[in-house]
Amino acid sequence: MFPFGYKDGDVLPPLCGSGSFCPDEGEGCKPLVEIGQPCQMNQDRQCAPPPDWQELASDWNVNGSLCLGSVCSCV
């Protein structure tokens, strides 16, 4: 969403679609990370939602999950 390192007029790569994310290294779109698997620190949007995400979703997380201690967790 915030294209760092591009000049005015550069063609920007497309944003990742639903169910995927772009890691900090910019290696292209990757599938969301399942609960219990490693994630990049403070990158909550990398984590896949748990099955009961509607019950867990709040202003404190992303679809009921977050990256806590570099592990995708549901809260």
Residue 45 falls inside a structural domain:
yes
Residue that wins the pLDDT comparison between 75 and 36: 36
Number of domains comprising the chain:
1
Residue 43 falls inside a structural domain:
yes
Q: pLDDT tens across 22-68, in order? A: 887 777 899 999 999 999 988 888 999 888 887 877 877 778 888 99
Q: Note whether 43 and 24 are within 8 A (CB).
A: yes
Residue 60 falls inside a structural domain:
yes
Q: Note whether 62 and 47 are within 8 A (CB).
A: yes
In angstroms, rounded to a whole number, what is the distance separating the alpha carbons of residues 68 and 11?
Answer: 34
Q: Which helix (H) or strand (E) holds 55?
A: helix 53-56
Residue 18 falls inside a structural domain:
no
In angstroms, rounded to a whole number, what is the distance separating the alpha carbons of residues 42 and 11?
Answer: 28
> Could you list the residue range(s) of the whole structural domain that residue 44 is in?
33-75
